[in-house]
Homo-oligomer: A and B are copies of this chain.
């Protein structure tokens, strides 16, 4: 029996103990956004730190201005990985929609016999982070060591804005730096296929206000001669895209890569049903760039979206007003090496170029923006992880993610590390909603997956 096989066997035989430890963590109502639960966040952190210490980690609860971090180190040969998870959970309102106490976890059988772990945090992220901890346990209990060097960081503010995360990463950068990071906070492709998220789109967003007349005007008295800021803003926004759905900003597609053949083949193999995907949201005509598949449009192509617009009279009835100003909130999703600052500058230029000489524009509310994050499809850590997942599940999917995961950006920016995102959650897990669940299969095969991933990483040439 190989070491891996022995560790897998241990995990298999002790799955009920693993479940009980998950339940113990889930019983702690570590709702980070509600100050009333601050002490519970401390309890959850302490529980995890104590457990990691008992597994031989050098573990501690590290206080922050908010809820604490758990930091733990374990020596090992081979590459050094940083595993990130979060122990805090979402609030449980509306409580009346829960079928039972959200903090009294239980196993329930679905109609088809499949078992589910039910309770707040079952999936997001207590269940997912525990798959990793239990895999470490299996290795320690069987081999007495881990196949690679492991640092663990558990956050307690992921569901409430991660205020302390970036300062903490800066302050503890030396301590937390590893060869690459692992995160277990993402989705499977489907119930049979674990997902390896290889790209997250970046974003830059802000607000634009165009101003025309110095005051609201009566459209009867001024209509025609007076510039209407809503008309102007509409034209500016319409011009953001051409007839083929491409964004028209100057230099917008600089740094936008074509997806590799590996990724293209992987995506093709997913058998993604565009019609079903769009049908679920009441649509059937893809709105993005001509000639790009829906998966490319949402995973690998940048986009410009107007997220809000307002101006003039918006109440009941009618007022014949030409307003002094009109507003929109705009965001750009970024891929490849698109630079948030340059994209925003190009947007400002786009607006100014369309502004009549007597109108003005103001830009506001722009955050720092975040570039896209991607893991090269030929990277060693990705290949190792994928090999392990393929061995456990018979297959795996390289998937994109149209949105961002802030911690991945923070790790990239502050620690300079790539992140391999492995997830066993499913879209129907009801995360952030009543009756959150995690399939027992996700938990069970998740632990087994990490046992294998740790072995594969240990077998890599140290980066």
A→B interface (CB under 8 Å): 201, 203, 205, 207, 212-215, 217-228, 230-231, 233-235, 237-241, 277-278, 281-289, 294, 297-298, 301-303, 305-314, 317-323, 326-329, 331, 333, 356-358, 365, 367, 401-404
Contacts and interface: CB of A to CB of B under 8 A. Distances in A.
B307 A226 contact: no
A225 B294 contact: yes
A409 to B, nearest CB: 13
Given A231-B240, A237-B238, 10 more contacts: A203-B220, A218-B403, A222-B281, A227-B283, A228-B287, A230-B306, A230-B328, A231-B305, A238-B239, A308-B314
A305 B402 contact: no
A286 B333 CA distance: 37
Nearest to A214: B282
B241 A231 contact: yes
Contacts of A283: 212-214, 226-227, 358
Contact of A281 (B215, B220, B403): B215
Contacts of A307: 219, 230, 312-313, 318-323
A222 B281 CA distance: 10
A228 B305 contact: yes
A141 B316 CA distance: 52
A298 B222 contact: yes
Nearest to A313: B308
A311 B312 contact: no
Contact of A285 (B240, B281, B358, B365): B358
A287 B238 contact: no
Given A228-B306, A230-B237, A329-B313, A214 B288 contact: no
A453 B228 CA distance: 40
A222 to B, nearest CB: 6
A309 B220 contact: no
A264 B233 CA distance: 34
Contacts of A305: 219, 223, 228, 231, 320, 322
Given A223-B305, A223-B402, A224-B288, A281 B217 contact: yes
A320 B205 contact: yes
A331 B224 CA distance: 12
Among A222, A238, A302, the one with the most B-chain Cβ atoms within 10 Å of its Cβ is A222
Contacts of A298: 221-225
A143 B282 CA distance: 79
A126 to B, nearest CB: 23
A297 B225 contact: yes
A224 B230 CA distance: 24
Given A285-B357, A287-B356, A318-B365, A234 B231 contact: no
B358 A284 contact: yes
Among A225, A313, A319, the one with the most B-chain Cβ atoms within 10 Å of its Cβ is A225
Contacts of A303: 219, 223-224
Contacts of A314: 308-310, 327, 329
A317 B365 contact: yes
A199 B127 CA distance: 74
A307 B240 CA distance: 22
Contact of A320 (B212, B215, B297, B331): B331
Nearest to A243: B235
Given A227-B287, A234-B237, A322-B307, A402 B221 contact: yes
Contact of A356 (B203, B227, B285, B306): B285
Given A283-B212, A314-B309, A288 B225 contact: yes
Given A231-B241, A402-B220, A306 B317 contact: no
Among A278, A284, A306, A326, the one with the most B-chain Cβ atoms within 10 Å of its Cβ is A306
B403 A221 contact: yes
B219 A281 contact: no
A327 B224 CA distance: 22
A227 to B, nearest CB: 4
